[in-house]
Amino acid sequence: MSKNIILRLANEKDIDSVLELSNIVADIHGKERGDILKTHPRHITKKRFLNYICETNRFIIVIEDSKKIVGIMLCKIKHIVDDNKFKDNFVFQIEDTCLYEEYRNKGYSDKMMNMAKEIAKANNCQRMEAAVWNFNKSSIAFFKKNSFKEQRIIYECFL
């Protein structure tokens, strides 16, 4: 990891880099689960990106190395209130995370996770969640390494 690392929230100028990285996620998901996922040119649209950076409960964490965005983490805060099942609370949800292959397993994701935890705590979140596809063994290992515990399993059956 170089010494020229910057960790920050995304802004409008980051749109192309964020869209490119999010498409890596979409390609992986589409390749592995093309049986249920739509084929789409953009995992995140420009409109969705702009909403993310404007909404107070959504965050796109970016990590730069030598002025190049090399990773992203898309997050949101979910406020659970008056739910029949769950206690009232704030949950910090990690929706997507992606790093260029050559930057993986070098601590970049850990830096983004630490920032996510700081944002979650600052926004009174009691816990964090991340939904991960079963085929994504590296993401499962990453979340386990960062103290995430398996919460539930979703089974499917094709008819």
Q: What percent of the chain has pLDDT over 90?
A: 63
Superfamily of domain 5-145: Gcn5-related N-acetyltransferase (GNAT) (3.40.630.30)
pLDDT band at 43 (very low <50, low <70, confident <90, very high): low
pLDDT band at 72 (very low <50, low <70, confident <90, very high): very high
Q: What is the pTM of this model?
A: 0.89
- Residues 73-130 have pLDDT tens digits of 999 999 999 989 988 999 999 999 999 999 999 999 999 999 999 999 999 999 999 9
* pLDDT of 7 strictly over 90: yes
Average pLDDT over residues 128-148: 93
Average pLDDT over residues 9-28: 88
| Separation between Cα atoms, residue 18 and residue 62, nearest integer Å | 8
* pLDDT of 155 strictly over 80: yes
Residue 112 pLDDT: 98
The CA–CA distances, whole Å, from 127 to 50, 69, 77, 78, 151 equal: 26, 27, 10, 10, 12
Residue 23 pLDDT: 82
SS3 annotation, 20-59? HHHHHHHHHHHHHCCCCCCCCCCCCCHHHHHHHHHCCCEE
| Separation between Cα atoms, residue 66 and residue 82, nearest integer Å | 46
Ranges of each domain in the chain: 5-145
CB 117 within 8 A of CB 123: no
